[in-house]
Chains A and B, each alone.
Chain A
Amino acid sequence: MRPLLAALGLLLIWEGFVRWSEVPPFLLPSPLRVADVLWRRWEILWPHAVTTGTEILLGLALGTLLGCATALLLAAWRGGRRWLLPLLVASQAIPVFAIAPLLTLWLGFGLGSKIAMATIIIFFPVATAFYDGLRRTEPGWLDLAATMGASRRAALWRIRVPAALPGLASGLRVAAAVAPIGAVVGEWVGASAGLGYVMLQANGRSQTDVMFAALTLLAGMAMALWFATDRLLRALLPWQPDQLSEDTEKGRPS
């Protein structure tokens, strides 16, 4: 409830500022005007939102899959650490934004290049968070598994992977937060649909209110994605004490 009130307060200040200073709408539209545009142009905006949402979700799924696979490969195969890890770290030195035009060149103006962009941006936090988790298994658990006669494979799947899930979860939370960036940057570089495309078009025509309307939709989607991810992860990992749920869990008897 409190975050909602804070947001409402911010909107009120914004509206008041626009009315008081009489800023022209093409510089800064008032929240009411943005809401009006959002309402009147919903039919146009919604399909673009669906496009961007699809890019984000597919990128998230693909990036997560690739990130998990890479982390498992690095953890299970000693050679992987020597050959792949330096490459992985070096690849992060290249800014994703710099290769966006290349992706558009190779994969075209459609969904492909945006999904690739989101995948690349999501891949790294997921891979590193999961790999970190896999490396930091409580040594006592592995000792115990060894005395119980567990194979390396059994120790990986029954101990190291479950123990790394909280680490993976924090990687996924970061991924959910950055996924929209990937999709929108992809759309800015070249697209014929999506909220990033709408924003670029509106900017060119000084339709700042439309830009803000698209931005509002994007922010709403990004927040919904983050909260959905967070809720899902908490439901799936009930044993994991994490900082975010601490406030709400305190009063609850276990």
Chain B
Amino acid sequence: MASSDGLALHVSLPAIRLGGRAILGAARLDVAAGRLTALLGPSGVGKSTLLRLLAGLLPLPPGARVTTGDGRPLQGRVAWMGQQDLLLPWLDLIGNVALGARLRGERPDLDRARALIAAVGLAGREGARPAQLSGGMRQRAALARTLMEDRPIVLMDEPFSAVDAPTRHRLQGLAAGLLRGRTVLLVTHDPLEALRLAHRILVLRPAPDGAVAEEQPMPPGEPLRPAHEPAVLAAQAALLERLAEAV
């Protein structure tokens, strides 16, 4: 399904202050092409701010530099998936999945939308309204909508935090397969999620001048890593302690 290859992303930010409060310290962040980079850290440390900056939802502060692997601008090459599914209640499933094209005034590729709906395991529910779907199904729909945008870079802001643990586990497996080959920056609160899905984990740690990103050691193997593997479990415990210290 991944028709766009990943694109490396290099971010260099000056210290960001919002309303007199330091949000992010001067930071450099390199996101490898075609890899999933997970970003963890305590609440309010600026993870979401960083993601919103990259998504173009916040203006880049002066002095910030965001460059891509091929040197072309980032704008228009990012897909965004938030914590809520953000499905529009008045559109049916296929209408929601094909929303991007409609918003840009293009003719949506409905065959591709149907294929993606099938890929996330919702075949046969194309005509269902969001209210008729369970929380897990809605999040799958949101994943299909994100993939429908077919962008080389995918920004995910705690995409599976609103669903229960077993559903989250299944969604992670699904997402790992469908996002393969894309450059993904995943913000999450869940160490196990990061360890299962990511190629690389960064922890944003609060510091006096704003948060600083720190690299974390990874367990061996490629994602999707099994949750029961001792190395993953040990890394989860270590990461959890690291996060608890970071507050």
Q: Which A residues are closer than 8 A to B by beta carbons?
A: 138, 140-141, 143-151, 154-155, 158-159, 162-163, 165, 237-241, 254
Contact = CB atoms under 8 A, between A and B. Distances in A.
Contact of B86 (A141, A149, A154, A238): A141
Interface in B20-76: 52, 55-57, 76
B90 A162 contact: yes
A254 B132 contact: yes
Contacts of B105: 151, 154
Nearest to A147: B80
A151 B89 CA distance: 21
A147 B56 contact: yes
Given A162-B90, A239-B129, 14 more contacts: A143-B52, A143-B57, A146-B56, A147-B55, A147-B80, A148-B103, A149-B76, A154-B102, A154-B104, A154-B105, A158-B102, A163-B88, A238-B129, A239-B130
A155 B103 contact: yes
A200 B78 CA distance: 68
Q: Identify which of A138, A143, A154, A163 gathers the most chain B CB atoms within 10 Å of its CB.
A: A143
* Pairs of residues from A and B, 10 with the lowest C-beta to C-beta distance, nearest first: A150-B103, A147-B80, A148-B100, A239-B89, A140-B86, A154-B103, A239-B90, A162-B90, A144-B86, A148-B103
Interface residues of B, number: 25
A143 B84 CA distance: 12
10 contacts: A140-B84, A141-B86, A143-B52, A143-B80, A143-B82, A147-B57, A155-B103, A162-B88, A239-B89, A254-B131
Interface of B: 52, 55-57, 76, 78-80, 82, 84, 86, 88-90, 99-100, 102-105, 129-132, 149
Nearest to B130: A239
Q: Identify which of A148, A151, A154 gathers the most chain B CB atoms within 10 Å of its CB.
A: A148
B88 to A, nearest CB: 7
B104 A138 contact: no
Contacts of A163: 88, 90
A145 B103 contact: yes
A163 B104 CA distance: 18
B100 A149 contact: yes
